[in-house]
Structure 1
Amino acid sequence: MKLTASIYGGGPFYPGPSSALPTLNQTGFTTVVCWAVHVKSNGDLVYNDTPIVSNGTYIGDSSWGAMLENVKQYGSVNRILFSIGGWETNDFYHIMSLIQRDGTSSSSILYKNFEALLREIPVIDGIDYDDEGNYDQNTIVQLSQMLSTIGYKEVTFCPYTNSSFWIDCLTALEGTNPGLVTGFNLQCYAGGAPNLYNVQQGWIDPLQKAMPSGFDAAAFIDPGLWCKNGTGCTQGMDASTIQGYFSGWKNDGITGGFIWLYDDIEKCGNDPQSYADAILNGLS
């Protein structure tokens, strides 16, 4: 099975003088996750602190789509996701309220704004959910169905806890949109640190039990680790340590993983290629 290595990034994945996009496809990562899209109470989409879609119109940097197209067309990257949410954000609460108020038809502001995003940046393959607080299944299911109708090809979940919730969301969507959810990007750092030694029992086993026979639960889960970060870059893991963890997860049947966060790789002056290699060599 083909191995995958994903990288989450914030500001460096947006156009600008210090953007990492021109060289990102030479790092060895196979998936780029642009983090994070925030959904405001009125439905506006904001990339970190930069407004990108408002009232059904794309208002972000006009070069972003072409730059991401180049990232995907030349080099190692073959998939681009945009991630919603994060710790202590209100995005999924806002999404829930907007769905309850307006639904998810083509006349709703959520539909119009996510449609505008994909129209402007058609290279986006899917949307990643980093819901760390709301945990409302109807919201996850209805949002996913709406995104599929718009034309997004896939959805991924980025959990750090509450495996039963995410598995229930998956099974519900398998009933209506089979194959739409393509994986769990499992956080094994910060609040998800307990997952570091519990991927098999905490996630693979219950997922396998919930899905039909023949489903490969291990290949569905991509564990993620935090690169060197913090004051003096004394926190997190270097590439060698990360490779060791993925070598262990290989025995569980894991075939992919991700690194959090490109911004920290830059701040600490480390080589992105070494982190991509850590995942791929560990799993090889």
Structure 2
Amino acid sequence: MALTASIYGGGPFYPGENSALPTIKKSDFTTVVCWALHVRPNGDLAYNDTLIVTSGSYVGDHSWGQQLAEVKEGGSVNRILFSIGGWETNDFYHIMTLLNTQGDGPTSILYRNFQALLEAIPAIDGIDYDDEGNYNINTITRLSRMLATIGYKQITFCPYTNSAFWINCLVLLEKTNPGLVTGFNLQCYAGGAGNIGYVKQGWIDPLQKAMGSNFDAAGFIDPGLWCKHGDNCTQGMDPKQIKSQFTKWKKDKIQGGFIWLYDDIEKCGNDPQAYANAILSGLK
């Protein structure tokens, strides 16, 4: 299996004169995760604070679909995900309420809006779940099956805690939609900082036990680290530190990882390619 390196990014991954999409195309990152997609109480989809889908129609920047398609042409990027949620967001509560009141069929607003998003941006390969509060297994499984029906090819989970919950979601989805969930983007920073020395014991081993001996649990877990950030960019990790950590994870047979967050790489004036190579060279 080829080694992978993913990058989460917010505003710089949206079209505009300061768009980072041309830069990220040639960065050596293999996956771009556009963060964050928010689901409002009425089912509207917003990219951060920008409304992009309402009432079954895409109303975002109409060049975004073509720009994201071009990111996957001739560069290092071969996968694009949109991530829902984040810390202290209510997206998964809103999704739960909408599923319970309208269902998940073609007439529901969630179905129509996610369908409109994929029609406008067919370069999207899948949806990433950054649920840090709701933890409702029925919501995760119903949403995933609905997205698969619409045509999204992949689901990834982005946990920082509650491994049993996420593993249970995977087990259930494997029964109805085998192969739909393609990995866990495991947060090893902020609230998930304790995962740094606990990836094998806390995540790989229980995942292996739940999925059986033929499953590549280590290849399913992509740990993530936070680049340099904060006041004067004194917090977080530089590429050398990140390479060192991924070199340690190599013994656990980890095959990919991610960097949080492109916006911080840009703010601190650092080189995204150096961060991508820190993951890839650390695991090589």
Same structural fold, with TM-score higher than 0.5 when normalized by the shorter chain = yes
Aligned to 1:226: 226
1:233-272 map, 5 Å: 233-272=233-272
Partner SS for 1:33: strand
Q: Which amino acid aligns with 2:85?
A: G
Hey, what's the Cα distance between the residues in 2 that align with 1:137 and 1:160?
A: 16
Q: Which amino acid aligns with 2:36?
A: A
Aligned to 2:190: 190
Hey, what's the Cα distance between the residues in 2 that align with 1:74 and 1:2?
A: 17
Partner SS for 2:18: coil
TM-score normalised by length of structure 2: 1.00
Q: CA deviation at 1:23?
A: 2.0
Aligned to 2:181: 181
Hey, what's the Cα distance between the residues in 2 that align with 1:219 and 1:244?
A: 19
State the 4+ residue runs in structure 1 displaced beyond 3 angstroms. Answer: none
Q: Which amino acid aligns with 1:254?
A: I
Partner SS for 1:73: coil
1:35-65 per-position Cα deviation (integer Å, ceiling 9, x unaligned): 0000000000000000000000000000000
Q: Which amino acid aligns with 1:252?
A: D
Hey, what's the Cα distance between the residues in 2 that align with 1:274 and 1:87?
A: 27
Q: Which amino acid aligns with 1:88?
A: E
Q: CA deviation at 1:212?
A: 2.3
Partner SS for 2:112: helix
1:178-199 per-position Cα deviation (integer Å, ceiling 9, x unaligned): 0000000000000000001000
1:79-124 per-position Cα deviation (integer Å, ceiling 9, x unaligned): 0000000000000000000000000000000000000000000010
Q: CA deviation at 1:22?
A: 1.7
Q: CA deviation at 1:203?
A: 0.2
Q: Which amino acid aligns with 2:173?
A: L
Q: CA deviation at 1:24?
A: 1.3
1:49-68 map, 5 Å: 49-68=49-68
Hey, what's the Cα distance between the residues in 1 that align with 2:262 and 2:278?
A: 14
Aligned to 1:152: 152
Partner SS for 2:72: helix
Alignment gaps of 5+ in structure 1: none
Aligned to 1:274: 274
Hey, what's the Cα distance between the residues in 2 that align with 1:73 and 1:27?
A: 13
Partner SS for 1:197: coil
User: Are positions 1:19 and 2:31 aligned together?
Assistant: no
Hey, what's the Cα distance between the residues in 2 that align with 1:83 and 1:214?
A: 29
Q: CA deviation at 1:34?
A: 0.1
Hey, what's the Cα distance between the residues in 1 that align with 2:22 and 2:272?
A: 14
Q: Which amino acid aligns with 2:197?
A: Y
Hey, what's the Cα distance between the residues in 2 that align with 1:103 and 1:72?
A: 34
Q: Which amino acid aligns with 1:167?
A: I
Hey, what's the Cα distance between the residues in 2 that align with 1:212 and 1:246?
A: 26
User: Are positions 1:119 and 2:119 aligned together?
Assistant: yes
Q: Number of paired residues?
A: 284
Q: Which amino acid aligns with 1:176?
A: T
Aligned to 1:77: 77
Hey, what's the Cα distance between the residues in 1 that align with 2:233 and 2:250?
A: 28
1:211-239 per-position Cα deviation (integer Å, ceiling 9, x unaligned): 02210100000000000000000000000
TM-score normalised by length of structure 1: 1.00
Q: CA deviation at 1:256?
A: 0.1
